[in-house]
């Protein structure tokens, strides 16, 4: 029963020294109120529950070279960490456009930024997939810089109700916008073995793709539906029992990461959205405009690299990153989720395109 104190509802108390569930982590979920606790969690090399720590901030800012009065875009708003750093540099006189499809996190980030003094005059937020960047450019005009962080936010990963993590029980969903499209659980009910094998291979380079697809399809055919994150995790573990005992635990973990990643990419149509975004970038960037893209697995990085190189050969980009920039060892030690990040950049040629840029090969 909830107790009342001074007209306010008291927080749910948890047993023991540390909170066990996501909902109980009220201190971490309210970083503005519990700053000391948050700093302690971060100092231990962990990301507080419900909070996202932006990656490669200094490297991104060094490249974008933002100045007051510019117009830019954060194509993946998320928690708003990169957004906050960028908008501070383009004021006074500038404006930042920010996009996201998550119907739960977007209003929270909008409120967070507004409380810091950055309202719609400074940050124009649109609930929109970044594949439609050309539609925003009709309003914003040519963009001096664009940033896209392709990683899933920590808020989505940590909340078991979103179904992104195999580590805790939750619905097998994996949608960035749970209000549209088909969940991962629904996808597995209808997809063929061959299609699922391709998803695991293409989306995450899974070496046991065919074996896992067979196990999943057989399970569903036998009436055992995979509706939770842990049910899929356990099926993967059982399927890989043949692996050597010494390495099995770590291999199962890596396989779960790859399979969940592959399904997330599929249900959100992430590769197609990324391809559209990359194809449209040249037409929305101002002459001399800069774009930085942060990716977290090989499938994303390959697409970014090939697109940048294609437009460079065509003379549309004047310069592209020769190699990806990786987070520093210090950042990786304090934020383990940064370890797989790769940052690539490109600079638009300093002239107007005669016609709309075509898609990359």
79 in the same domain as 95: yes
- What per-residue confidence (pLDDT) applies to 34? 54
Domain presence at residue 319: yes
- Single out the residue of 277, 328, 324, 279 nearest to residue 302, CA to CA: 324
- Number of structural domains in the chain: 3
Residues 201 and 342 in one domain: no
Helix, coil or strand: residue 316: coil
Write out the residue range of the structural domain in which residue 39 sits.
Answer: 4-43
Of the candidates 276, 25, 247, the residue with the CA atom closest to the CA atom of residue 128: 276
Q: What is the pLDDT of residues 5-42, one digit of tens each?
A: 444 444 444 454 444 554 444 444 555 555 555 555 54
Mark whether 67 and 147 lie in a shared domain: yes
Please give the pLDDT value at position 79: 87
Does the pLDDT at position 260 exceed 50?
A: yes
Q: DSSP letter for 354, please.
A: S
Angle, CA 148 vertex, CA 280 and CA 164 arms, to 5°: 115
pLDDT for the residue numbered 178: 87
pTM of structure: 0.81
What is the per-residue pLDDT for 282? 96
Lowest model confidence (mean pLDDT) among 8-17, 133-142, 293-302, 340-349 = 8-17
First to last CA, the chain: 61
Q: Which residues contact 289 (CB under 8 A, 6 or more apart)?
A: 142, 143, 144, 145, 146, 347, 348
Burial group, residue 8, by CB count within 10 angstroms (0-12, 13-18, 19+): exposed
Q: Are 280 and 134 in contact (CB under 8 A)?
A: yes
Domain-located, residue 163: no
Q: Return the DSSP state at 23.
A: G
Q: Is 50 within a domain?
A: no
Nearest to 254 by CA among 340, 344, 173, 176: 340
- Does residue 159 lie in a domain region? no
Q: Using omega within 30 degrees of 0 as the cis cutoff, is the peptide bond preceding 92 cis?
A: yes
116 contacts 90 by C-beta, under 8 angstroms: no
Query: Is residue 160 in some structural domain?
Result: no
Element (H, E) at 348: strand 342-348
Tens digits of per-residue pLDDT, 193-217? 999 999 999 999 999 999 999 999 9
∠ CA 78-306-321, nearest 5°, is 75
Residue 216 and residue 247 in one domain: yes
CATH assignment at residue 313: 3.40.50.150
pLDDT at 17: 47
Same domain, 67 and 215: no
Cβ-proximal residues to 75 (8 Å cutoff; 6+ apart), any chain: 98, 99, 130, 133, 146, 147, 148, 277
Bridge partner residues of 344 (DSSP) = 293
Residues 17 and 85 in one domain: no
252 and 283 both lie in a single domain: no
Q: How far apart are CA 90 and CA 76, in angstroms?
A: 18
Q: Is residue 357 part of a domain?
A: no
Whether residue 280 is found in the same domain as residue 146: yes
The residue to which tokens 């928690």 are assigned: 79
Residue 359 lies in a domain: no
Same domain? 122 vs 262 = no
Q: Which of 188, 166, 171, 183 is nearest to 236 (CA)?
A: 166
Are 112 and 64 found together in one domain? yes
pLDDT tens, position by position, 120-134: 999 999 999 999 999
Domain boundary among 250, 267, 284: 267
Residue 161 resides in a domain: no
* pLDDT for position 161: 76
Residue 225, number of CB atoms within 10 A of its CB? 13
Alpha-carbon torsion (129, 133, 134, 136), positive or negative: positive
Q: How much is the CA Rg of the chain, to the nearest whole Å?
A: 22
Nearest to 228 by CA among 180, 295, 160: 160
């Amino acid at each position: 029963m909830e107790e009342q104190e001074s007209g306010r509802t008291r927080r749910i108390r948890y047993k023991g020294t540390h909170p066990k569930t996501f909902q109980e982590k009220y201190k971490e979920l309210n970083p503005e109120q519990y700053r000391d606790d948050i700093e302690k969690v971060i100092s231990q090399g962990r990301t507080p529950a419900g909070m996202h720590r932006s990656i490669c901030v200094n490297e991104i800012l060094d490249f974008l070279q933002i100045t007051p009065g510019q117009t830019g875009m954060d194509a993946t708003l998320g928690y708003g960490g990169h957004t906050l750093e960028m908008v501070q540099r383009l004021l006074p006189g500038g404006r930042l456009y920010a996009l996201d499809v998550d119907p739960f996190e977007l209003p929270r980030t909008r409120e967070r930024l507004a409380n810091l003094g950055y309202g719609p005059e400074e940050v124009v937020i649109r609930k929109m997939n970044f594949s439609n960047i050309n539609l925003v450019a009709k309003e914003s005009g040519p963009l001096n810089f664009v940033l896209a962080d392709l990683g899933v936010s920590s808020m989505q990963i940590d909340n078991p109700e979103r179904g992104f993590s195999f580590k805790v029980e939750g619905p097998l969903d994996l949608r960035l916008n749970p209000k549209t499209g088909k969940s991962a659980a629904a996808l597995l009910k209808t997809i063929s073995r061959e299609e699922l094998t391709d998803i695991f291979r293409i989306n995450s380079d899974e070496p046991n793709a065919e074996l896992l697809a067979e196990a999943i399809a057989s399970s569903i055919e036998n009436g055992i539906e995979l509706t939770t994150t842990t049910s899929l995790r356990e099926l993967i573990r059982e399927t890989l029992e043949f692996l050597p005992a010494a390495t099995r635990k770590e291999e199962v973990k890596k396989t779960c990461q790859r399979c969940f990643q592959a399904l997330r990419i599929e249900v959100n149509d992430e590769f197609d959205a990324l391809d559209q975004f990359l194809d449209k970038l040249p037409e929305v960037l101002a002459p001399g405009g800069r774009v930085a893209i942060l990716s977290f697995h090989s499938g994303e990085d390959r697409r970014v690299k090939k697109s940048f190189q294609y437009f460079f050969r065509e003379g549309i980009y004047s310069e592209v990153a020769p190699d990806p920039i990786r987070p520093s060892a210090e950042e990786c030690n304090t934020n383990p989720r940064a370890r797989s990040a790769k940052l690539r950049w490109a600079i638009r040629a300093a002239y107007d395109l005669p016609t709309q840029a075509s898609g990359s090969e």
